[in-house]
Structure formats: structure tokens, C-alpha cells
Chain A
Amino acid sequence: MTPTATLEPETVFTPPALPIPTSAVTLTINGTPQTLQIAPWTTLLDALREYLDLTGTKKGCDHGQCGACTVLVNGKRINSCLTLAIMQEGAQITTIEGIAQTNTDAPNGLHPLQKAFIEHDAFQCGYCTPGQICSAVGLMNEGKAKSTADIRELMSGNICRCGAYTNIVDAIEDVMNQNPA
């Protein structure tokens, strides 16, 4: 939300001048439980980036419109800007920093998708890339994509402004062909 100063001051309520309330939140991220003391309205995305220095997860809109903040929660892809950190207690959260360790035969410490993204030049500026890769892992976990057109459709929640889409699809297909469902 962009704060736009209101035109009608009299309609705004006066907030209490109290210290900002915080809660203890324990998140299991890439297999490691970590406890944070944060405002309850802190998003999972901001918890990762601002409080845990896990900046691989990107903020591109903060509104669930771009997919840059995609992470895996219990193996399912979600927009981490659209969930509060406190809602994810007890869940297994996987970010780009932990994606390689989810794959047992990761070559050179990279997930096959990470390797394929490099090989196919499936990114340019790199900002949407962690979200694209987490989303592609989620897509493969879902097992619904049966064709190139399916991959395009099911990856359309992740905007790549550099326009690497064709290479992204090539990279994902490459990995899916290595591990047919």
C-alpha cells in the first residue's frame, strides 16, 4: 500500500500512542526453527528479508501480483507477501537459500532447476529468479503440467520483466524431462 495522504483529515481516527506490539513467532525455515519478536502484521516476506537476512526472496509488488516473493510452504508455492509470518508457525518453509538441499542429488550444490536456469539463460537481471525457481519446484510438485502450454499457463503468476519467459520454459522442461513424473 502506498501511503497517500488523505484529503479529509477529520475522518481519520487518532491512534493510541503506545509502543508497537510484538509477538514471538517461531518459523521453520529451510529446516531450521528460528524465533522472532515481530509485529503480528509482519508478512512472511518481510520476516524473511528484514529480520532473518534471507534476502533471496524478493519483493516486487507486496500485493501478490508479481510472484517475486514465491516460497514453498509444506511443498506448496505461495506468495510470501500475502501471508503473515505468524500464520506460518509450524509449517516447513523453503526459500531459494534452501532449495538445493531439498534435492538429494543436487550437482555442485545446485538444484537441477538452478543449474538449468543458468544453462538456458533463464534470467537477466535475476530479481524474479528465486521466485521463478521456487514456483517451478512448486509446479513440479503439483504434477499438473503436461505440456509446454501448461507450463506457460502455470508459471504466469511469476512476472519476468526482462522477458526471459521462453528460456524459463525451456529450463523447466529440461528438468521435467530428466525426471518424468
Chain B
Amino acid sequence: MSAPIINNTIGKPISRVDGVDKVTGKAKYAAEFSVPDLAHGVVVSSAIAKGKIKKIDTGDALSLAGVLQIFTYENRPKLAWFDISYKDQDAPPGSPFRPLHNATIKYSGQPIALVVAETFELARYAASLVRVEYEEAAHETDLEANLHKGRKPKHGVADLLKPPPPKPRGDFEKAFADAPVTMNGRYVHAAEHHNPMEMFATTVVYETNDRLTIYDKTQGVTNSILYVSQVFNIPFKNLRVISPYIGGGFGSGLRPQYQLFMGVMAARELKRSVRVSLTRQQMFTFGHRPATVQNVALGALPDGTMNALYHDAMAETSQFEDYTEVVVNWGGMVYPTENVTLDYKLVPLDVYSPLDMRAPGGVTGMHALEVAMDELAYNLGMDPLQLRLKNYTDQDHNEKRPYSSKELRECFRQGAERFGWGSRNPEPRSMRKEHNLIGWGMATGIWEANQMPARAEAVLMVNGKLRVSSATADIGTGTYTIMTQIAADTLGMPIGDVMFKLGDTDMPIAPISGGSWTAATIGTAVQAACQAVGKTLLKLAKKMPGSPFKGAKWEDVDFANKQMRLKRDPSTTVSLQTLVDQNGGKAVREITGSMPNALKLKNYTRSTHSAVFVEVMVDEELGTVKVTRAVTAVAAGRILNPKTARSQILGGMVWGISKSLHEESVLDHTFGRFMNHNLAEYHVSVNADIHDLDVIFVDEHDEIVNPLGIKGLGEIGIVGMPAAVANAIFHATGKRVRDLPITLDKLL
């Protein structure tokens, strides 16, 4: 009789292992580490968008008792000279922004001084007394007014993850001219800011011998330590960066933000521990989702076969870096159209460099493309879902290779059935409830399924418990929980006997947590580290006197119920405790790395897919829009934990609603500044905006993408939502709004 497997946790809706810490307030974020003799830093921001600091008068602020120092470009310490030292792991091609570098102002809100004082209250007051005279220069912040400056992006390592558009295939112009049914449209969306709930903060603990322990808000402690080490020329042995919790990232923590620089600089100069927290307004003074203008043109035969596809995008970037994202490539991947032209250009403006924000480029491009598909469907007189099915493909036609797996067809089927799409009357304005118009819309979503190299450590301790670690992040995604599950299952242990730790540069190295790759990347590393421990345990088992495991190979054993077993005779077992006891009183410790299998992967495109169905209610007199219900069916490989996975998709859907209806960073071009830089005027969805959301995970088996068959869920939830909402609004009102957000003024 084989022993029952009581601890098979992968695929089970386990509650978050960090849940108790988060609901009791015990979870500590970067600004919350208690440090004796802590000084507080407050950043002063530029009032102009472009020009020079003529004079900076810190006299009044410095005269206050308790103000320790005010750092400006004039008195900052000597720092690294070359651009390369300032390049972080997510730096686009170009010359990275250097805080307090010189008198030049490159964008509104640029940090120009750091006031450090004994208390936060004093530092904040003193900061208000810093007086600056500027020499203003003319700035350009208006994307639409500068489209003529559009140019090809510079190339760099970023191209590896963000390939430029493929060369045209076929002859779009001819096919479009000959197509019996066509559409074309222009799609504009504003800049957006990530606005995680936690504001960026860094607590720098100054220790003896110039050693610093840094608590940073970051999506990758490795990124922070590299930046600090290079910019300040500090050896790694004198640095440690810790970030056990991060109050939301969404991409904003993929680059070190300037409070890290400020905190480290002040701590070293003052030889004192320093904390620097940004204000909510200052959360609008670094990376953002770039404003983008897109054109899409589609042509089809009367039966719905698409034979012409054009998609271009013009996106803003800064004057110092070429931030790019994949906006236009998706159409060539999702649809098998023969004649395709794709183009992507950048317009440099006097703003900070844009920064990856949840599904960067994907949600932007798929919004335009999938609204365009809806327009084409109406021009064809065809159901929008039927149009997608008519143009379904199992190949990525950009790369001319198959998908490693693609259950999008099943997403369409299950999503449509759950939503009740089949009973839809295609006629716009055909559904009404009192003074509200009701509409149904749908769209497709796609995102990439990547894996990066990473390392992890697994330690079977002398008490028989397992401790696993990797210097990754849990930005709310559930990393702590799913890694605990993977480790537990790999060595057949109960969840309660496994402890997973992350966010510390003393741990094995991990990449920044973004791009939906963390589950696949760290999951593979954790599994490998636990397997390495298992292999060592097998060696120990073989050495035991009269061992039934003599001659057994790794393939011959498995783990369950805290035991190693022979697969061919599961009643032959030895407990993990017995095995670790054979190790001379020491824990069994293994550190391993994992890499994507490039040889295997290069023949396949790896993607997640979704089908999104949305119902909106539009008040005909007021133009207000409510998303009353939405169904997202997702195919994303193996789902490790349906509870945290569902939350990931729900969050993406909320982001999609927020992007469709609310989010917009409004630039006043007179000042070159984002004017709605607070949470009352930068609207995000609140509880009352969100109604019935439904998530379906479609079974998808993938043995190619990585050993665990994981594809990642961080972005796919948002990708299809904005187009589905916009299409539902068209169905409700008969108004085709191509710009985002769809605020009431666009409907009246």
C-alpha cells in the first residue's frame, strides 16, 4: 500500500502565509524599521520643467536648530563619473538621470535638494524655506504637438525583452486598398502613474566602519545594491539591502528611485542613519506609463478573414533615455494576417523617463487593436467573438513559430458561456434599464510568459524543518505563499514546516520582480534547490546501514509525508528527520541556480492569453459609466494557488476598469507639470466603482515553458479590459470612443 499524499499543496487555494503579518500591522515596509538616532530627509522639488538653478538659498532653513544639512548640487559628495554606473537593471538606452548632478533642470518636480533634520516635522518645515531662483528655458511636454519629432528608438539591451516591431510582411497597402471591408482609427491615451499605496521610502542604517543596511522600497534588492555600490563606490561587503514587504509596485519599483540615492548620500555624509520618504505628490516625479498615440487600420474579406493589418504608435520618452515598450507587435502575434505593417516611434519631451507599468505596452497596444477589431466586426456585420474565432491561430506569425501552448479558444468558449454572450443583440443601444443604456463588449488579451535566471537556497534544518530563500520580492503577488507551496511539494513536507524568505541581498541572487516572470523564475530556482537537497538526502539514505535505498537513483525516489520513498515500493520509506540526523549534526544546505532552457524555448513563443467579457451601464443623461459585471477567462499554464491567482487577475481587472474610466495624469503644458498629482485628483477605481468580477482559469498544460508549467499572472488580467470596456460602451451608446480614459465628457 502506498502512503496517501497528504501534502500535495500546488493547485490548492492556500491562504497567504504572510496574511497574519499583513492584517495585524506586523509586516514592516521600508519606512517602518525602527532605528535609534534616526535623522529625517525631505526632498525639495523643482518648480520649473526646464532650465537652470541660478541660486539656491538654504540659509534660513539651515539656521533652524535641529536642521543637520541641506544637500544640493553645490555640496553633494563626489560620485561615479560614467553613465554606466547609474544604469540599473531596468534602465533604457540613454543617460540615466542623476539626482543633484548639476544646476540643470530636466523636468518639473526634479529633486533639487534634500533637507535633513532631527525630526520629520522639522525637515518638512525647513524644506519649505529653501529658496531657489531659476533661469527658465522653453520646455516641450505636449506629445500631440510634437508628433513630427517622432523617431526610431535607440537600441540597447532592453531590446532583448522588448523587441522592436518585426519587418513588414506581405503588402499592407495593396491588401488594404483591395479589402472589401476596412476600418481605421486613431487611439490616444494619457500618461498614468503607478501610485502604489506605499510611497517610496528608504531607511538607511549607518553602522560602524561605513557599513550600511538599507531598507528600500524596491521590486528587486539586487537592483538597489548594484546601483548604490556603483554610484557611491561602496564595496558589496559593506552593503546590505532588505525589503521583506513592498506596499505595491506595479512596475514603479523596477528602477531605484531617487529617495534611495538621497538616503544613502545623507547617511554617508552625516555618518548617521537617515530615512527619506517621498510625498504622494513626489510619486508623480519619476517614471510613468507614457502617453501614446496609435493608428490602426484593418482590412478583411466579407467572410471575416483579415488580410491587412497596420498598427503604429508614437510614445513619449524623456530627453535623456529612450524608454520603449512593445505596443504594436501584438497584432502580428494574435492574428494570422498575411499583410502586416507595424511601426513604433518615440517623441522625446521634457519629462522624466517613462517606466514599465503593469502590462507595459501590452495593455496600450491591445486596447487600440481590440477596439479596432470591434470596429471591423461592426463594419463586417459580424459578431466580435466570431471575428476572433475566424482569425484564430496557433502560430506566432511574427516569429513564424508555434505557441508552447495556447488555450485561448477555450477561454473564448468558457468566458462567453459564463457571461451569456450568446444572447447578445449586436445592435447598439438595444438594451436599456430605466435611464441607463446597457452594453456588452469583449476583447482578447495576451502577455508574454518569460523566465529569467535566478538562484535559491534550501536548507533542511536539524529540526526537520525546511528553510528556503531567494532575494526576490513579493509585491502583493503571493510569492511568499507559492514558493512555500513549491518547496513543500518538492520535498513532501507540510506547508507549516516550510519557511520561505525573500528580499535580502544576503540571500541568493534573483532578478527584479516584474514582467509576470517571478513565479516561473523563482519557482524553478526553488524547485531546483529543494531537489538538490533531496539528492543529498538520497546520498545520506544510501549510506545508512542495510539501507533499502542502496543502488537507488534520483529517478527512483519521491517525497511525501515528510519521508523519502521508493517509487516502485512506496512502503519503503525513510523520514527526512532520520536523514538529516545522518548528516553529522548539520543541516543539509544547497544553493542552486536555474536558467531558462534556451535551446528548447527558441522554437516556441510563450504567452498567456485571456478572453474578457464586460457589461457596462451608461447613464444617458449624465454620461457616467459603471462596469456592472466582467468575466475574464485566462489560460496561463499551471495555476499554483487559485486563491492568490484569482486575486492577481481581479487586481488586473480593477486596473483595467480604472484605466478605461478614470486614470489620467494631466499635464499643464504651460508649466510642464502633472497637475493632478494627488489621489483626490488622479482618480483610481475605489470600492464603489467595482461590481461583479468573475475569473475563470482554463486548464492549460505546458511542458515547454518551464519545468513547473507556470506562465505568470501579473499582467494578463489588465490587458484585455480597456478594449472590452470601450467596446461595451459602444454597444451601449453607439459612440465609438477611441481615447482613454472614457470620462463622461466624451459621452455627452
Contacts and interface: CB of A to CB of B under 8 A. Distances in A.
> Do A and B come together as binding partners?
yes
Interface of A: 1-7, 9, 12, 14-15, 17-20, 38-39, 41-42, 46, 49-50, 53-63, 65-66, 68, 95-97, 100, 110, 114, 117-119, 121, 123-130, 133, 151-153, 155-169
B131 A118 contact: no
A62 B279 contact: yes
B28 A55 contact: yes
Interface stretch (B117-125, B148-156, B258-266, B360-368): B117-125
Nearest to B245: A126
B627 to A, nearest CB: 12
A145 B281 CA distance: 33
Of A5, A18, A130, A133, the most chain B CB neighbours within 10 A belong to A5
B678 A65 contact: yes
Contacts of A38: 121
Given A3-B128, A127-B29, A167-B650, A159 B684 contact: yes
Interface of B: 15-16, 18-29, 31-32, 34, 40, 42-48, 56-57, 60, 63-66, 109, 112-113, 115, 119-122, 124-125, 127-134, 195-199, 245-250, 277, 279-282, 475-478, 643-644, 646-648, 650-655, 658, 677-680, 684-693
B247 A126 contact: yes
Given A65-B679, A125-B475, A160-B197, A55 B121 contact: no
B615 to A, nearest CB: 15
B657 to A, nearest CB: 9
Contacts of A164: 647, 650-651
B23 A3 contact: no
A127 B688 contact: no
B684 A161 contact: yes
Nearest to B654: A163
B280 A62 contact: yes
B119 A114 contact: no
A95 B26 CA distance: 12
A6 B15 contact: no
A162 B15 contact: no
B652 A125 contact: no
Of B119, B643, B692, the most chain A CB neighbours within 10 A belong to B119
* Main secondary structure on A side of the interface with B: loop
A136 B127 CA distance: 37
Nearest to B123: A3
A119 B131 contact: no
Contacts of B691: 152
The 8 A-B pairs with the shortest beta carbon distances in the complex, nearest first, are: A56-B25, A163-B654, A127-B247, A125-B476, A124-B476, A126-B22, A2-B281, A3-B127
A34 B689 CA distance: 40
A89 B121 CA distance: 19
A63 B22 contact: no
A57 to B, nearest CB: 7
B128 A158 contact: no
Contact of B688 (A56, A57, A59, A153): A153
A143 to B, nearest CB: 18
Nearest to B134: A7
B258 to A, nearest CB: 13
Given A20-B119, A152-B688, A167-B650, 20 more contacts: A2-B279, A5-B47, A5-B56, A17-B64, A46-B120, A49-B32, A54-B25, A55-B28, A58-B197, A117-B23, A125-B245, A125-B246, A128-B247, A152-B687, A153-B687, A161-B248, A163-B652, A163-B653, A165-B685, A169-B687
Contacts of A18: 64-65
Of A3, A39, A55, A97, the most chain B CB neighbours within 10 A belong to A3
Nearest to B108: A4
Nearest to A130: B25
Given A97-B25, A118-B15, A156-B688, A19 B246 contact: no
A53 B196 contact: no
A56 B679 contact: no
A131 to B, nearest CB: 9
A110 B655 CA distance: 31
B247 A125 contact: yes
A159 to B, nearest CB: 6
B651 A4 contact: no
A127 B687 CA distance: 16
A118 B23 contact: yes
Of A7, A19, A61, A130, the most chain B CB neighbours within 10 A belong to A61
B15 A119 contact: yes
A121 B476 contact: no
Given A124-B476, A124-B647, A15 B20 contact: no
A125 B245 CA distance: 7
A7 B650 contact: no
A110 B20 CA distance: 8
Given A2-B45, A5-B47, A63 B651 contact: no
A57 B119 contact: no
B68 to A, nearest CB: 13
B14 to A, nearest CB: 10
Given A3-B127, A18-B65, A60 B679 contact: yes
Contacts of A96: 23-25
